[in-house]
Chains A and B, each alone.
Chain A
Amino acid sequence: MNWTLALPEIVLSVSGLAILVFGVLQRRDPTQVCSLLTLAAFVLTGVLVLLAPDGIGYNSVFVGDDFARYMKILSLAGAALSLILSMDYNRREGIGRFEFPVLLLFSTVGTMVMASSENLMTLYIGLELQSLAIYILCAFDRDRLGSAEAGLKYFVLGSLASGLLLYGVSLVFGFAGTMEYRGLQAALSASAEIPTGLVIGIVFIIVGLAFKVSAVPFHMWTPDVYQGAPPPVTSFMAGAPKIAAFALLLRVMAGPFGTASHQWQLLIELISMASMLFGALAAIPQTSIKRLMAYSSIGHMGYALMGLAAATPAGMRGTLIYLAVYLFMNAGTFAVIVAMRRRGRPVERIADLAGLGRTDPGLALAMAIFMFSMIGVPPLSGFFGKLLVFSAALQAGLPVLVVVGIVSSVIGAYYYLRVVKVMYFDVATAAFDRPAASVSLVSAGMGLVTGLFILLLGPVSSAAQAAAAVLFR
Chain B
Amino acid sequence: MHVVLADYFPVLVFVVIAFGIAGAMLGGSLLAGQQKPYAEKLSAYECGFDAFDDARRRFDVRFYLVSILFIIFDLEVAFLFPWAVALGRIGLFGFLSMLAFLGVLTVGFIYEWRKGALDWE
Could you list which residues of chain A lie within 8 angstroms of chain B, going by C-beta atoms?
Answer: 1, 17, 20-21, 24-25
Contact = CB atoms under 8 A, between A and B. Distances in A.
Contacts of A17: 103-104, 107
B110 interface: yes
B59 interface: no
Contacts of B110: 21, 24-25
Interface of B: 93, 103-104, 107, 110-111, 114-115
A25 B114 contact: yes
Nearest to B113: A24
Contacts of B104: 17
Contacts of A25: 110, 114
Given A24-B115, A25-B114, A1 B107 contact: no
Of listed B93, B111, B115, residue having the most chain A CB within 10 A: B111
B98 to A, nearest CB: 15
B107 A21 contact: yes
B93 A24 contact: no
A146 B104 CA distance: 32
Contacts of B111: 20-21, 24
12 contacts: A1-B93, A17-B103, A17-B104, A17-B107, A20-B111, A21-B111, A24-B110, A24-B111, A24-B114, A24-B115, A25-B110, A25-B114
B107 A20 contact: yes
Contacts of B114: 24-25
B102 to A, nearest CB: 12
Closest 8 CB pairs of A and B: A24-B114, A17-B107, A24-B111, A21-B107, A21-B110, A20-B111, A20-B107, A25-B114
Nearest to A3: B93
A442 B107 CA distance: 33
Nearest to B112: A24
A406 B114 CA distance: 56
Of listed A1, A20, A24, residue having the most chain B CB within 10 A: A24
Nearest to A23: B111
Contacts of A24: 110-111, 114-115
Given A17-B107, A24-B110, A24-B111, 6 more contacts: A1-B93, A20-B107, A20-B111, A21-B110, A24-B114, A25-B110
Contacts of A1: 93
Contacts of A21: 107, 110-111
A207 to B, nearest CB: 29
A1 B115 CA distance: 39
A24 B106 CA distance: 13
Nearest to A10: B100
A378 to B, nearest CB: 49
A319 B105 CA distance: 39
A24 B113 CA distance: 9
B99 to A, nearest CB: 13
Contacts of A20: 107, 111
A59 B59 CA distance: 47
Nearest to B103: A17
A108 B107 CA distance: 19
A24 B93 CA distance: 30
A20 B93 CA distance: 26
A462 to B, nearest CB: 37
A17 B114 CA distance: 15
B96 to A, nearest CB: 10
A153 to B, nearest CB: 20
Nearest to A13: B104
Of listed A1, A17, A20, residue having the most chain B CB within 10 A: A17
A60 to B, nearest CB: 14
A433 to B, nearest CB: 33
A20 B103 CA distance: 13
B83 to A, nearest CB: 16
A445 to B, nearest CB: 34
A14 to B, nearest CB: 9
B97 to A, nearest CB: 10
A21 B114 CA distance: 9
Nearest to B93: A1
A1 B94 CA distance: 13
A210 to B, nearest CB: 31
Contacts of B115: 24
A24 B115 CA distance: 7
Contacts of B107: 17, 20-21
A10 B117 CA distance: 28
A202 to B, nearest CB: 31
A9 to B, nearest CB: 12
B75 to A, nearest CB: 15
A20 B110 CA distance: 9
A20 B111 CA distance: 7
A30 B107 CA distance: 17
B2 to A, nearest CB: 34
A94 B2 CA distance: 71
B113 to A, nearest CB: 9
A1 B103 CA distance: 22
A62 to B, nearest CB: 13
B71 to A, nearest CB: 15
A25 B110 CA distance: 9
Nearest to A99: B111
Contacts of B93: 1
Nearest to B104: A17
A129 to B, nearest CB: 12
Nearest to A16: B107
